[in-house]
């Protein structure tokens, strides 16, 4: 399925022209044949989305509990048929719920208030990460945001290495989906904790929770965090950075995780 469509549009003072518009499809998640969630997403890197969502939402505790992912398009949308281990499926059935999520649903499948905050252990801190690398990563990222360049409607997420290089760039109309796609790609490569996560959006509570659930200790956003995100990051020993633009940023939690020299 295509990531974008072409439409004839009219701009003020100009003749009609063809414009690129981001595609958005309903994507249904099925675990061992049981429907779990439906959300709107960009139809690209869907195996990464399935893997990242499964891990970041705690449906599987480890990537080896995820056996198979099948992407099935239809006239109604796309179904992700995901096979998971029996123990993981038993946990899922114990809290099984059915929902319809908006674009980039942040708390997909949460039925009650007590399910919002998951029991996650604080992250173990490694060597301080160079702040200069985050600035360099943000400088490099726009060149790889092909869907955003074409449509102006996509968020991106990626991994930044200590030398400022970026990898696992993923885009989606939903910011949570972009992050889950990157987390899924990282898990497949076995390198989720080797660097910092960068997102071209605000940093909300559930994005901090997703990063921590996948073992990532640094989350940097181009925009602001929410208060709930700051409190959760402080609790989980995660370094949270906002307003990462040019040479500026705001460090909200655990600045000891950064080398600012």
Could you list the active site residues?
105
Under DSSP, is residue 90 helix (H, G, I), strand (E, B) or coil? helix
Contact assessment for residue 253 and residue 230, using Cβ atoms and an 8 Å cutoff? yes
Backbone angles phi, psi at 170, to 5 degrees: -135, 140
CA–CA separation, 86 and 131 (whole Å): 42
Contact (Cβ atoms closer than 8 angstroms) between residue 25 and residue 86:
no
Tokens of 153: 């409607």
Quick one: which of 209, 244, 251, 213 has its CA closest to 229? Answer: 209
């Amino acid at each position: 399925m295509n990531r974008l469509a072409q439409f004839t549009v009219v701009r003020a003072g100009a003749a009609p022209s063809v414009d690129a518009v981001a595609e958005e499809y309903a994507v249904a998640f099925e675990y061992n044949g049981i429907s779990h969630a439906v959300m709107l997403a960009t139809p690209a890197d869907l195996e990464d989305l399935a893997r990242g969502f499964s891990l970041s939402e705690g449906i599987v505790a480890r990537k080896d509990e995820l056996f198979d992912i099948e992407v099935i398009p239809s006239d109604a949308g796309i179904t992700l048929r995901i096979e998971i281990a029996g123990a993981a499926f038993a946990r899922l059935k114990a809290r099984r719920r059915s929902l319809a999520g908006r674009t980039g649903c942040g708390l997909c499948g949460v039925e009650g208030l007590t399910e919002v905050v998951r029991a996650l252990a604080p992250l173990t801190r490694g060597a301080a990460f160079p702040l200069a690398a985050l600035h360099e990563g943000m400088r490099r990222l726009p060149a790889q945001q092909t869907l955003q360049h074409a449509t102006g409607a996509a968020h991106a997420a990626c991994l930044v290495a200590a030398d400022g290089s970026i990898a696992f760039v993923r885009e989606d109309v939903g910011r949570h989906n972009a992050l889950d796609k990157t987390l899924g790609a990282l898990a497949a490569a076995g390198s989720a904790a080797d660097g910092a996560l960068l997102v071209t959006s605000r940093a909300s509570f559930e994005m901090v929770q997703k990063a921590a659930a996948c073992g990532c200790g640094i989350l940097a956003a181009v925009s602001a965090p929410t208060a709930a995100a700051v409190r959760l990051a402080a609790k989980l020993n995660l370094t949270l950075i906002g307003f990462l633009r040019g040479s500026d940023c705001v460090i909200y939690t655990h600045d000891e995780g950064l080398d600012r020299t």
